[in-house]
Structure 1
Amino acid sequence: MTRIQSTLKAMVTILFCAPLCTPVQAELVGEVDTAFRWLGRDDRVVIEAYDDPKVRGITCYVSRARTGGVKGTVGLAEDRAEASIACRQVTEMLHFTEKLPRQEDVFTERMSILFKRLHIVRVVDSKRNTLIYLTYSDKLIDGNPQNSVTAVPVAHATPIPIK
């Protein structure tokens, strides 16, 4: 098999398997309009909340630009690759549903119809008993180095369970 054939096979596999994944849904917390569009929705910045599925009591808030217009309204526009993240402990006690890997892609969400995704990665800093969350976007061919990071310290009385 040639390199082009194997690349095409990988792309087709990704396209057909991606809908089978059960991504964590974002909860829209708020939005502000940034540019008026005559047709379709306005361009805007949205604030979405993501609850960490393995660490109950931590919510990540992500703000990012959403493209409006006709393409944006029907889901065909490619959103900008810029996002900001802030994760916080939102309950009195944290509960770990299972042991955590040292690094894990916790959330992913589509930013364009095919090849661009927003990622939120959790990294465990066991030395400081802290959970670090990083957001960035990627494309199938090339990524974007723009990123944002936040950290949630965990009380030393509650060690983070590591795989």
Structure 2
Amino acid sequence: MRYGVLVGLLLSSSAVMAEEIGEVSTVFKWLGPNDKVVVEAFDDPKVQGVTCYLSRAKTGGIKGGLGLAEDRSEASIACRQVGPIQIVEPLKEGEEVFKQRTSLVFKSMQVVRFHDRKRNALVYLVYSDRVIEGSPQNSITAIPIMPWPKAEAQ
């Protein structure tokens, strides 16, 4: 039974894949890749016209190179309207938009979405959790749902 849960945790991943935009090295490592900050982008799968940019720490060294290191919990997020906003499916409050494993088994970073109907805005929260104990480290961003200017005919 426990083996099945472990395999499920290892294989579970969000359908949304992040595209790496760039990275900067923060700590030189003699063996294996350097520690770095990675900037990634992903589109909200249920809201067309929204792209989120995520920066997060990635641990290097031998363990990091082999995928055995645990990445730090700190992350930052900025979501922007990049086209006309169209909600393609009903939204659930606190719905997971993106999830990425940050350790071999027990830790992940997640982005969840809230719809602030009163202010007509979408709110995105990034945080890290662990099977036993999560982290209060988080970052938040909001996008007002605004009309997108139409392109003028040339």
Q: With structure 2 as the length reference, what TM-score do the two structures score?
A: 0.89
C-alpha deviations, 1:72-92, integer Å up to 9, x for none? 11111000000000000111x
Query: Which runs of 5 or more residues in structure 1 are unaligned?
Result: 1-8, 158-163
C-alpha displacement of 1:20: 4.8
Q: With structure 1 as the length reference, what TM-score do the two structures score?
A: 0.84
- Which residue pairs with 2:151 in the alignment? none
* Aligned counterparts, 1:40-51, within 5 A: 40-51=32-43
Paired letter, 2:78: A
Paired letter, 1:16: V
> Which of the residues 136, 142, 145 maps onto 1:145?
136
Q: Rate the CA distance shift 1:156–1:30 in 2: closer, same or farther, 3 A.
A: closer
- Which residue pairs with 2:126 in the alignment? 135
RMSD: 1.7
User: How many pairs align?
Assistant: 147
Output the CA distance in 2 between the equivalents of 1:43 and 1:22.
Answer: 24
Tell me whether 1:120 sits opposite 2:111 in the alignment: yes
- Which residue pairs with 2:6 in the alignment? 15
* Aligned counterparts, 1:50-89, within 5 A: 50-89=42-81
The alignment partner of 2:138 has SS state of strand
C-alpha displacement of 1:38: 0.7
Q: Rate the CA distance shift 1:104–1:33 in 2: closer, same or farther, 3 A.
A: same
Which structure features the higher share of helix residues? 1
Q: Percent identity?
A: 54
Paired letter, 2:118: K
